[in-house]
Chains A and B, each alone.
Chain A
Amino acid sequence: MDYLKIANGPVMWLVCGLGVGLVLVQSLLFVRRSIIAGRELGITDQQFKHAVKASTISAIGPSLVILGGMISLLVTMGGPIAWMRLSYIGSVQFELMSAEFGAQAMGVSLDGPDMNAVAFTNGVWVMALGSFGWVLFTGLCTHKMDKFRNVLAGGRKAFMPFLSIAAVLGAFAYLASDRIMRFDQGTKSCIAGFAIMALIVIVNRKLQKQWLKEWAMCIAMFGGMLIAVLI
């Protein structure tokens, strides 16, 4: 596997590192400014701490999924590309598919013996072309999205909160249905995750436990997984 020498070479590390670096720089810029602005708006240190804790706990499950997705990418596309794509723009559901489409278009299979540098390069092209739209669209349009939302809501301000929930629910209903309709272990996991989360939210309306708010997502994710494995 000759092409992996280049795929894992210093040039690729440097080039891919730039993308990951950009993500970190942006986060640091935004966090610094947000803490200042947040304090001015009366957000307490306690609230900041709760946010950091809840996000850290909730990030563990998905990060493990992404790490799992990286294993197969590492083998076929090398370390730098796998590392960059999963921390910058890419998404774990799409990246392996992109690499495969790229290799297929060259008439080879990603994990086959004829996989070569040109097919690898094509995979890298497909990954970039398959995902740049997210960054381009948000780069150009984020500051106008409030206006677009107004149009969708037909100018009715009171409808706005419902519109937001409807949009998120529509998107996740699609993602969930796609898993449910496969009728495999993922079906069980999805339904179990739904049931656990619904239960926690309803119970916690009465209990109002802070720790349950922070752990809810993590419990639902691993609980759903566990139930799917056991049943």
Chain B
Amino acid sequence: MENNQNRYETDYIPYIVRWGRITNLLGVALCFLPALILTFGFGFNPGLTAIVTGSLAQVSGSCIFWFVEPISYFPVLGIPGTYMSFLAGNGSSLRLPCSAAAQDSAGVVQGTEQGTIISTIGIAVSIFVNVALLSLGVILGTSVLSQLPAQVVSALSLILPALFGAMLAQFAVAQPKIGATAIVLALAMTWLSKNGFLAIFPGQPTYVIIIVAVFGTIGVSKLLFDKGMLKA
């Protein structure tokens, strides 16, 4: 057993890190390929100003997630799962729920070596299911998909909020005190933002909410832990 544990550290993880880096960095390059081909191959050049203007609007909202999502989800996803989840995208809405469900169902503990392996399997399955379904959707094309009744499409949009609530519950029931802290902080910050109290911060103040929600919850948990108020 000890020998096998050793191989996990000396063999498995180095392999994952080597290929994870290669594939993800290649992923960065490939992500720009369609835009480069359209601009320089086909000659549809929007110009730097338009690219920057459009991107700033998007990046100001999304860039905080580039860092907060991987850092927050890493303990559940594990090293291989983190490479996979962010290369494949849809981290919050698909990869994390599947990783957590797989580990729960296989009866392994998150953050352990077994947890890391099972998380990898769970995320891979979610990738295969997602790519298969999307490929089917794109082959069927707009002609079939647009025949879906509007009610079905609008009902589908209600799955995501339920998923966020369910994920929150899954972890909050395990640690009610931390769960309550997170919910109070996030609701309060969202309320402040909706009522314009965060307007003093530059740009879209979404990043203020998520930083306070994640790092505030970690901070309060640390205090609770030091006072001996948290049980495993």
Task: Please report the C-alpha to C-alpha distance between residue A156 and residue B221 in the assembled complex, in whole angstroms.
Answer: 13
- Contact status B232-A161, CB under 8 Å: yes
Task: Please report the C-alpha to C-alpha distance between residue A190 and residue B165 in the assembled complex, in whole angstroms.
Answer: 5
Is A185 in contact with chain B by the CB < 8 A criterion? yes
Contacts of B161 in A (CB 8 A): 176, 179-180, 186-187, 189-190, 193, 224, 228
Within 8 A of B (CB), among A118-132: 118-132
- Contact status A16-B34, CB under 8 Å: yes
Given known contacts A162-B178, A176-B186, A197-B170, A228 and B117 CB-to-CB distance under 8 angstroms: no
Contacts of B62 in A (CB 8 A): 94, 130-131, 133
Can you show 25 pairs from A to B with CB atoms below 8 A apart?
A: A11-B37, A22-B30, A27-B124, A38-B121, A40-B7, A42-B114, A54-B102, A54-B104, A54-B122, A62-B90, A67-B156, A83-B134, A89-B89, A97-B58, A101-B55, A128-B35, A133-B67, A135-B27, A143-B79, A149-B74, A171-B68, A177-B183, A180-B190, A225-B159, A228-B158
Interface membership of chain A positions 144-171, coded 1 if the CB is closer than 8 angstroms to chain B and 0 otherwise: 0100110011101011111111111111
Task: Please report the C-alpha to C-alpha distance between residue A57 and residue B192 in the assembled complex, in whole angstroms.
Answer: 37
Contacts of A159 in B (CB 8 A): 221-222, 225
**Central interface residue in A38, A128, A165, by most chain B CB within 10 Å:** A165
Is A109 in contact with chain B by the CB < 8 A criterion? no
- Contact status A166-B190, CB under 8 Å: no
Q: List 12 other contacts, CB 8 Å, given A54-B122, A103-B54, A163-B218.
A: A22-B27, A55-B126, A62-B90, A67-B156, A126-B54, A131-B31, A138-B87, A140-B21, A154-B222, A163-B75, A217-B163, A220-B162
Task: Please report the C-alpha to C-alpha distance between residue A60 and residue B88 in the assembled complex, in whole angstroms.
Answer: 16
Task: Across the interface, name the chain B residue whose C-beta is closest to A198.
Answer: B169
Task: Please report the C-alpha to C-alpha distance between residue A59 and residue B93 in the assembled complex, in whole angstroms.
Answer: 9
Is A29 in contact with chain B by the CB < 8 A criterion? yes
